[in-house]
Structure 1
Amino acid sequence: MEKPEVRSEDALVEIAQGKLAGNLEGDAAVFRGIPFAAPPVGERRWRAPFPPEAWEGVRSASQFSPACWQSLEYCKAVGGGDPGQFSEDCLYLNIWKPADCAGNKLPVMVWLHGGGYTIGAGGLTPYDGAGFASRGVILVSINYRLGHLGFFAHPSLEGEDPDGPLYNFALMDQIAALRWVQENISAFGGAADNVTLFGESAGGRSVLSLLASPLAAGLFHKAIVQSAYTLPDVDRNMAIKKGIAVGRHFGLENATAEQLRALPAEAFWPLEAPLNIGPAPICGDRVLPEPMLDTFFAGKQHPLPVMIGSNSDEASVLSYFGIDLAGQIDLLRREKRFGLGLIKLLYPGVKGDVELGRQVCRDMAFTTMGFVVMQAQQRIGQPCWRYYFDYVAEAERETYANGAWHGNEVPYVFDTLHLTPPACDYVTEDDLAFSARACDYWAEFARKATSSSDWLEGKLRWPACTRRRDRTMLLGVNKRAKFSIINRFMRLRMQLFKRVMRHHVKLM
């Protein structure tokens, strides 16, 4: 792995809370571990984040902060690498900017990491922002509360917040970070009126939630959604029942708020089903008064330009949730919930329950979300760029025989393939060239996309889905480096699965 030299001279910036000293690394200035909220500990657990406190003198911003409590081994295996130390005091962000951007108003991209709301951190290696900084874009990555610390409901906490019920503390953290960006990013040379919010998996799902949240209005100006899933939000009543069960698990019948807040922060993440949290926010609080999917079905999302897409082998992630792909087809066969014959007509030439299950689960759980958002954008007269990522590094094509796994696009989007194991050990010049072009599109969206845009420039001109046009950019074809525009991509499949989503019928 090649990393830029860290030069001895400090990068100095003054923000509302005080002075910060970052590092000059190659052509980028990097600021790590900046508090965007007060530590959510003690009485501040399960409350909206409080503003960060000021400091005297110059604060070092050379080290990543601890991440929220989580499974170290799970994050290392599937979450992007080693997240480092853990703490309930985790609300910090990181910034990469061009070293010399004095007086500029550069586009800003705010990254929300994935991990099913239970693992991950903003400082993981694939999310290094130097690639964006080299393209004249300021990259901000954040931590937010995970697991039960980030999503929790219990009768004893009801009525604590005078502004209304609150269960989605992780989403409130993300909103607090966006407010911090609005207040402070100009000190780094960023344009507070050109902020792109983007994320992958649970991060992409968070972007959709904030597009639907009244509390996030005006805090960002465009959005990129990578591999967000169609799983419905958790109903508040179900979340409260789970909160009660969690209290009982710790021996707290009729638990008080004080008793719950006295539990060690590290006690929650090891909880297993049915006491663990699901990978979806809770609807019915002031962050998400209505279910996110219903908001998009009704075309009531914030009116902003959106890019959205998913990967060719998203079903790769479903095994981690205990889903048997072949078993899903057998379930359709036995329960006859909607015609297996129709499914097979929509997947001509696909043989065997395993392969059919892989493609059906991929499309129902992931691909359809892009179709739904595209139609919602068209309904409100906003552009939408759809993509389908199907590139696999040359040395990995036997390993990833079915295409790009869930999350595999991230180091391409960030142009960090040369840093990210295992690809960095055998990456080729062709792999790096494709990665650079993918990152170019993301940076171009941040720089140029507006509500009146019809195109993004890049290796291949990328048209938006506007005026009832359904167009998808293939980023890679059959795992090879090719760019192609497809009209009405998987249209009949998407129409079927959208109807299934609307009624919250689940295959899984």
Structure 2
Amino acid sequence: MLNETSRLKSRGGRVRLMVLGAIALAGSALSATTALADPVVRTQQGDVVGVEAGPLSVFRGIPYAAPPVGALRWRAPRPPDAWNRRSATAFGPACIQPVSAVQDAAFGPLGVQSEDCLTLNVWTPTRNPGSSLPVMVWIHGGGFVSGAGSLPAYDGSTLARHGVVVVTLNYRLGALGFFAHPALDQESPDGPVNFGLLDQIAALQWVRDNIGAFGGDTGNVTILGESAGAESVLALFASPLAQGLFHKGIAQSPYGIPSHSPAKARAAGIEVAKALELDGEHASAAALRGIAAEAFATITGRGASLAPSLVYGDAVLPARILDRFEQGQSAALPLVIGNNSNEASVAELFGIDPASLVQKLGVAKIAVRLLFPEATDDADLARHAVRDAVFGAFVKRIADQHSRRAPAWRYYFNYLPEQQQGTEPGAPHGGEIAFVLGTLDRTPAYRDIRTPADDRVAERMTAYWLAFARTGRPAPTGEPDWRRSTARRSRTMEFSDDAVLRTRFRDRQLNILIRVIRILDSIVGH
């Protein structure tokens, strides 16, 4: 009996050991499964490991080009080095730029900066490489001197949850991104000036080569952006180097501030060298590349900045954007383009009083007032004038020219969050971003005041933008019909509390301004 008891205890011990072993093995398997659950996508450079965010897989900080540092400063972007397996769980640094409390308050904190900043981010609702979902590539604004694809207001989650793959990106800014100098001319006569645009093109090439692995359709890529991002969209339409890399575009509040000539860019580069305490036009390329990147964020002085304009005359942008559109040399692809009702707010952000601009007009103020009889005072008159002369007239000129070769849709965004209605003169510059990207809850300016009514407007805006990304037509089910605009039949969708299609909306003022601008162009030249 004692022997039998011992034998049973021994058997029980073995059973317990077997059970414990099975549990341990199961735990190991579970841990392995959990590790493998992190989304992994194979790119041409190597595997990237992202994170799960509810129904989405998110990949942050993927290099699309080699770091533009040292000898690669002011050179066309080059492919990144290969890797075996790379974590893509954190955003890459923002490109070098001045610190802006205004930007942080409007769009969210910028975070770390570095010259090594050429990364992009991907939000995808699928792990199936064969899904062929529409792709939306967001290009941030900021006057070509500030911003980043990682700002909370540009989060791609909302759009991705509606069945598209979203990409945001960084590109070189300020004098590190848009620069000419005699020393660079000696290295490469007729070389590039718009390095930031070359970065955007490199990012689109990365999308072409890799986005299919994230479930995106390489044959259905929409580029979209606001302000300098919208200017970038139009520049990519106009650039021969970007052809075939995208299939439609959305330009939100592009501005009609002319691009700089190569001579103007070179003069600005000389002023940059002086501001860096180098020998102006005689500074060497080695000396310029030897300056710490952070120093470029602090450059001040008259004539040292090209912002907020691009430079025409290089291979990226052979002529001014408007000239390329008017000469039929831009991409003949579907385009949505528009502006907001209080674009003059961008002047206020830079400390410029709109009323003072009107007061400087002198006698011309009378003519301006005749154009805008609805203006209540000088400040209001200036807001109307800046909105239409800098933004509205340019939007109409581009849309009219583009409509001769490809479909064009115009819009006018005139919605303020409920809690701001009656306290602000209209939708500010950039005020539409949170509505079209669906990021009211992540945008500092709106997250604490949003209401169900604001959310409904956002749902409508995202529906139009998503429909355009999917089909090439902004025609979501159940929403008012947004008909194309042409030079002969001008139509504008006004987004306010409702969406209303307007015919010849503000055309009298815009056409007069267009004629005046053309006369000025012919007098002062390019």
How far apart in 1 are the matches of 2:520 and 2:315? Answer: 22
The residue aligned with 1:167 is 193
| Range moving further from structure 2, 183-192 or 426-435 | 426-435
2:170 maps to which of 135, 143, 147: 143
Deviation for aligned residue 1:104: 1.0
The residue aligned with 2:155 is 128
Deviation for aligned residue 1:79: 5.8
Relative to total residues, which structure has the larger helix share, 1 or 2?
2
How far apart in 1 are the matches of 2:251 and 2:42? Answer: 32
1:369 maps to which of 379, 394, 397: 394
Deviation for aligned residue 1:466: 4.3
Instruction: After TM superposition, list the pairs within 5 Å mapping 1:395-474 onto structure 2.
Output: 395-399=419-423, 401-449=424-472, 457=477, 459-466=479-486, 468-474=488-494
**Residue 203 to residue 467, structure 1, CA distance change in 2 (3 Å):** closer
| Range moving further from structure 2, 245-254 or 171-180 | 245-254
How far apart in 2 are the matches of 1:272 and 1:297? Answer: 35
**Residue 171 to residue 180, structure 1, CA distance change in 2 (3 Å):** same
1:270 maps to which of 298, 304, 322: 298
Deviation for aligned residue 1:100: 4.9
| Range moving further from structure 2, 484-493 or 244-253 | 244-253
Checking the alignment, whether the CA contact within 8 Å between 1:388 and 1:475 is kept in structure 2 is yes
**Residue 193 to residue 221, structure 1, CA distance change in 2 (3 Å):** same
The residue aligned with 1:349 is 374
In the alignment, is residue 203 of structure 1 matched against residue 226 of structure 2?
Answer: no
In the alignment, is residue 496 of structure 1 matched against residue 525 of structure 2?
Answer: no
The residue aligned with 2:268 is 242
Look up the SS of the partner of 2:394 in the other structure.
helix
Checking the alignment, whether the CA contact within 8 Å between 2:126 and 2:214 is kept in structure 1 is no
**Residue 123 to residue 318, structure 1, CA distance change in 2 (3 Å):** same
Q: Where do 5+ consecutive residues of structure 1 fail to align? A: 1-5
Look up the SS of the partner of 1:193 in the other structure.
strand
1:356 aligned partner, one-letter code: L
Deviation for aligned residue 1:208: 0.9
| Range moving further from structure 2, 303-312 or 495-504 | 495-504
Checking the alignment, whether the CA contact within 8 Å between 1:7 and 1:24 is kept in structure 2 is no
Checking the alignment, whether the CA contact within 8 Å between 2:336 and 2:409 is kept in structure 1 is yes
Checking the alignment, whether the CA contact within 8 Å between 2:262 and 2:313 is kept in structure 1 is yes
| Range moving further from structure 2, 88-97 or 275-284 | 275-284
Look up the SS of the partner of 1:492 in the other structure.
helix
Look up the SS of the partner of 2:414 in the other structure.
strand
Aligned positions, number? 486
The residue aligned with 1:178 is 204
Normalised by the length of structure 1, the TM-score is 0.91
Instruction: After TM superposition, list the pairs within 5 Å mapping 1:62-141 onto structure 2.
Output: 62-74=89-101, 76-77=103-104, 80-141=107-168
After superposition, give the CA deviation of every residue in 1:31-67 in whole Å (9 maximum; x if it has no partner): 00000000000000000000111102x2111000000
1:303 aligned partner, one-letter code: A
Deviation for aligned residue 1:227: 0.8
Deviation for aligned residue 1:398: 4.2
2:76 maps to which of 40, 48, 68: 48
Larger CA Rg, structure 1 vs 2: 2
How far apart in 1 are the matches of 2:294 and 2:202? Answer: 23
Deviation for aligned residue 1:296: 2.2
Checking the alignment, whether the CA contact within 8 Å between 1:125 and 1:420 is kept in structure 2 is yes
2:92 aligned partner, one-letter code: S
How far apart in 2 are the matches of 1:441 and 1:349? Answer: 30
1:294 aligned partner, one-letter code: D
Deviation for aligned residue 1:319: 2.2
Deviation for aligned residue 1:490: 0.7
How far apart in 1 are the matches of 2:326 and 2:183? Answer: 34
Runs of 4+ displaced beyond 6 Å: none
Checking the alignment, whether the CA contact within 8 Å between 1:230 and 1:369 is kept in structure 2 is yes
The residue aligned with 1:192 is 218
Deviation for aligned residue 1:379: 2.2
Deviation for aligned residue 1:249: 2.6
**Residue 303 to residue 224, structure 1, CA distance change in 2 (3 Å):** same
Checking the alignment, whether the CA contact within 8 Å between 1:116 and 1:279 is kept in structure 2 is yes
Checking the alignment, whether the CA contact within 8 Å between 2:467 and 2:475 is kept in structure 1 is no
| Range moving further from structure 2, 143-152 or 94-103 | 94-103
Deviation for aligned residue 1:244: 1.3
Checking the alignment, whether the CA contact within 8 Å between 1:75 and 1:82 is kept in structure 2 is no
In the alignment, is residue 483 of structure 1 matched against residue 496 of structure 2?
Answer: no
Checking the alignment, whether the CA contact within 8 Å between 2:102 and 2:349 is kept in structure 1 is no
Normalised by the length of structure 2, the TM-score is 0.88
Deviation for aligned residue 1:297: 2.9
Relative to total residues, which structure has the larger strand share, 1 or 2?
1
